[in-house]
Amino acid sequence: MSHWIEKSNIYHLYPLGFCGCERFRSEAKELDKGRILKVIEWIPHLKSLNMNAVYFGPVFESFEHGYDTTDYYTIDKRLGTNEEFGKVCEELHKNGIRVILDGVFNHVGRDHFAFKDLQQNGQNSRYKDWFAGVNFGGRSPYGDNFSYDGWNGCYNLVKLNLYNNEVVEHLFGAVKMWIEKWGIDGIRFDAADCLTDDFIRRIHTLTRGMRPDFWLMGEIIHGQYNHWANPEMFDCVTNYQCYKGIYSSHNDRNYFEIAHSIDYQNGQYGNLYMYNFLDNHDVSRLMSVLKDPARVECCYTMMYGMYGVPSIYYGSEFGIYGAKGHGAEADLPVRPCLDLNNIPDRNNELLKHISALGAIRLSSPAIQTGGYSKMELRNQTFSFKREKDGEEVYVLLNVSDGDYTFRFNTKYGKLVDLLTGKTFNGGNAEICVPKNKSMIIADGSKAVEIPEPEVIEVKVEAPAEPVPAPVVEVKEEPAPKNNGVVGIGVPEGRKIILGGHYKHFKGGDYVVLNVAKDSETLEEMVVYMQIYDKPTIWVRPLKMFLEDVDDHGNVKPRFAFVE
């Protein structure tokens, strides 16, 4: 069955860098600045590149870089508010651009409420089993009176215990909110090889039940990709094998390397649809890796011509540089803030090239999902064919020291280079490709039509299969005893904050999970979780939750928003 990802070009944003956020949240003098709305300003640029999906790096509350999540239900205040991010998603969907979020589910930051409770209450914390490797007989590198497992030796990234059903349901609740509130279309799973197979299968069932076309992609660097990408788990994984193969084969002018990687994957994985990329938020920019920058266009033609979905990391379409460094600030050079109207040393020819590649992909089923076969393979020249339902497209690449003529037989009488519009005779074709250039050759008798972007209608359905219920108890909160306390109405402008931390005027901390409707009266009800003592989920009328109360002459919110 066809899936929207097969007809997609993905634009990868790292929002905290793209929006110019402070490195640490504690450095931010002002919050909720609406910086995330900058994405809307870039929509015309995305459409000019023929992008129809945006993959957002971490957008949720964190202490530093986004991968140290402290609240899965709230947009990082350095970026803006949940409502502002909702506006971004709405505008992207109106312009036919799908939304993919980064799910960091292996670990959280040390400021996550459950870990802070563990720090405060030690062995008495009801969240002590939320984290992996907790040992009260040791001390952590940060001086806690217990030790725990950190991701990859990083103890600011506290590993979650995904065998604990409460943890899983806490994460599932966030995913449900992302889909229902913002209509997201997919998730990229950070450190996916560290997740349990059971967790991946369960989230596959959950998301498919809500959106049959939902897309799941796992970050996998090493290993057999089909362990994680299969009909029960992820749809796709990050293609690090070919990421290295593309830039290395162009640096060494040895196309046998990338050709071998493609052959290996075809043999091992068959039709597994890969997530292809040339750089991202974790590695140096392509232009900082290439020995000869003149070969950059061939690299992008290679990626777009391959089987799988191509991804462009923000700014690389302009040919910007950025080498990954060392130490605590290693990633900063590859995660810059960019001004669309002031890109230094922008490479407009590369920009046009990537735009043309995007258009070709949108218009060609053979490029999207066609079969692959090598035509001519030499160290410095490479040609291959993509074919589907009688359509044949030929990709020609030349990084030799001069012009090179490709000779091949074709059923077409007239040929055209889709990148430049230049035409050639078909039959026994002879096509000269200049040094460090590429061509995508197709039937020259047909006009190429680029599909117009469509408004994406988001439909959220109930899960097809019931998701295992959380361990926590769900109750309708008992009628309050007034004891001299009188509700006096909701102040103008007060709104509920999903995922917000609230404190009841008599004490006790709660997190808002969602807003539901009574099936009989249609009254809006707040669903919220008690996060002290035994975690219990409560239900209360929205107006009552938001109202002020008169507590013996003192007017105060019934539930005061904390953060």
**pLDDT for the residue 486:** 73
The confidence band for 370, taking pLDDT boundaries of 50, 70 and 90, is very high
pLDDT score at 492:
84
Q: Which two tokens stand for residue 467?
A: 């998701």
Amino acid present at 444: G
pLDDT of residue 423: 96
Q: How far is CA 304 from CA 300, 307, 309, in A?
A: 6, 8, 8
pLDDT of residue 371: 97
Residue 248 CA from chain centroid, whole number: 26
- Amino acid occupying residue 289: V
Average pLDDT of span 486-500: 82
Contact 425, 173 (CB under 8 A): no
| Mean pLDDT calculated for residue range 116-140 | 97
Percent share of the chain, pLDDT over 90: 77
Per the rule left: phi > 0, alpha: psi between -120 and 50, beta: everything else, 169 is: alpha
Could you tell me which residues come within 8 angstroms of residue 402 by beta carbon, excluding any fewer than 6 positions away? Answer: 435
* Number of neighbouring beta carbons within 10 Å of residue 295: 23
Task: Give the list of residues 6+ apart from residue 127 with CB closer than 8 angstroms, or none.
Answer: 114, 115, 117, 118
**Residue 381 reports pLDDT greater than 90:** yes
Mean pLDDT of the residues in the chain: 92
Q: Is the pLDDT of residue 555 over 60?
A: yes
Average pLDDT over residues 108-112: 97
Residue pair 17/67 in contact (Cβ under 8 Å)? The answer is no
Given pLDDT bands bounded at 50, 70 and 90, which one contains residue 32? low
Encode pLDDT of 383-425 as tens digits: 999 999 999 999 999 999 999 999 999 999 999 999 999 999 9
In sequence order, the 6+-apart residues with CB closer than 8 A to the CB of 239 are 225, 265, 274, 275, 276, 277, 308
Does residue 474 carry a pLDDT above 80? no
Q: How are beta strands 524-530 and 391-398 bridged, if at all?
A: unpaired
Whether the CA torsion 220, 224, 227, 233 is positive or negative: it is: positive
Q: Distance (Å, rounded) from C-alpha 40 to C-alpha 389?
A: 38
Extract the runs of DSSP E, i.e. beta strands, from 18-67. 53-56, 60-62
| Vertex 73: Cα angle to 72 and 75 (nearest 5) | 90
CA torsion sign for 314, 315, 320, 325 is negative
- Ranking 118-122, 414-418, 465-469 by mean pLDDT, the lowest is 465-469
- The pair of structure tokens assigned to 375 is 């035509």
- DSSP one-letter code for 212: T
Domains of the chain: 370-443 (2.60.40.1180), 475-561 (2.30.30.320)
| pLDDT surpassing 90 at residue 518 | no
Element (H, E) at 277: strand 275-277
Q: Which helix (H) or strand (E) holds 351?
A: helix 348-363
Beta bridge partners of 12: 55, 313
> Which are the contacts of 492, defined by CB distance < 8 A and separation ≥ 6?
none
Is the predicted pLDDT of residue 180 greater than 60, yes or no? yes
Spatial CB neighbours of 121, under 8 Å, sequence gap ≥ 6: none
Q: Given this model, what pLDDT does residue 333 score?
A: 96
Contact 278, 247 (CB under 8 A): yes
Dump pLDDT digits (tens) for 260-317: 999 999 999 999 999 999 999 999 999 999 999 999 999 999 999 999 999 999 999 9
Neighbours of 563 (CB within 10 A): 13
